[in-house]
Structure 1
Amino acid sequence: MAEDRTAFASSSDLKDRWPNMMDATLADTLLEDASQLIRDTCPGWAEASEETRRSIACSMVKRAMIAGEDSAGLSARQENAGPFSQSWTYSNPTGDLYLTKSEKARLGQGRQRAFSISVESGTVVGPWTG
C-alpha cells in the first residue's frame, strides 16, 4: 500500500500566516519536506488534528525560510561602540527544518503511556495516556 505523502499545508496557508513570504515554489517544497519529517519523527502524527498539522508545518517552514533574512533568525545580538565590536548569533543559521519541543507535544510525541497485562490470562488493559 502506498503511503500518502501530501503536504499538510500549502504555500497559500503559509502566506495567510506570514504575509511577507516571497517564494511560493520553495515554500511548497519545504512544506512537503516538513510534512514528511513530521511523519518520520512523530508516530502519533495521525491523531493530531488537521489544523494542528497545518500550523506546525507552516511554523517549521517559516523558521527555515527566515534563516537567510536580515536579523529575522537571530537569537542573540551584541554591539559595542568602542573599539567597534559587533556580534550576532543565529538560531537556525543553515535553515534546517526542525520541530520544537512544544510542537512535538502537540503531535503526541513524548506523552507517557501506560498499560497492564494480566499474567494469568495475557489480556492487555489500556493504554492510558497522560
Structure 2
Amino acid sequence: MAGVVTPVVAPDTYANVDDLTLFWKAPDDANRAAYLLKLSSNRLRLIGTDVGVDVDAMVNADPAYFMTVQWVVMESVKRALQSPIDGQPVETYGQTAGPYSENFKYSNPSGDLWFKKSELSAIGLYGTQTLGGLSTSQNLYGNIYSS
C-alpha cells in the first residue's frame, strides 16, 4: 500500500487510488479515479490561492492537516464517482401505478467535483474571512454622546 506521502508539490495529488481504496472502496475505473484525484487536488490548490493559503506548504508542515486535505480530496472524488456515467445519477427512486407518480432524488446530476463548506472550513479555506471595520453611513452628526 503505497499512498501519497509528503512532501507534496503541485501538480502532484494529495491522495492516490490506493488511498481512495482504503478510504472508500476500489473504484470501478481506476484511471478515471486517478484523474479525478489530480483535478480535485489542483482545484483545492486554486481555492487556497484565492483565499491566500499555500495548501502545499501547510500539507508538508503538518501531518494532521495533510490527512484532512486527503479526506477532503477523497470525499469530492467519491461523490463524483458515485454518479454513474451511463445511467441516471439518482440517490433514490420511487414509482407508483395510480394515479401515476414517479419521484427521483438526484445525488450529483452532472458528476461534478465539488467541496462542501464544512470540508473547506476544516482546512481553513472557508469561513476565515474577517471584517475589521466598515461604515456604510457618514458620520453626519458627530459623537452624539459626548458633552
Task: Bin the TM-score by the shorter chain.
Answer: 0.7 to 0.9
Greater fraction strand? 1
Corresponding position: 1:87 with 2:93 = no
Other structure's SS at 2:37 match? helix
- Aligned partner of 1:14 in structure 2 is 20
Percentage identity across aligned positions? 29
Runs of 4+ that moved beyond 6 A: 69-72
- Aligned partner of 2:36 in structure 1 is 30
**Aligned positions, number:** 113
Superposition RMSD in Å = 2.7
- Aligned partner of 1:111 in structure 2 is 128
Is the CA contact (8 Å cut-off) linking 1:42 and 1:107 kept in structure 2? no
Larger radius of gyration between Structure 1 and Structure 2: 2
Is the CA contact (8 Å cut-off) linking 1:8 and 1:53 kept in structure 2? yes
Q: Any gaps of 5 or more consecutive residues in structure 2?
A: 1-8, 60-64, 133-147
Ranked by relative contact order (alpha carbons within 8 Å, sequence separation 6 or more), the top structure is: 1
Provide TM-score, normalisation by structure 1: 0.72
Is the CA contact (8 Å cut-off) linking 2:11 and 2:38 kept in structure 1? yes
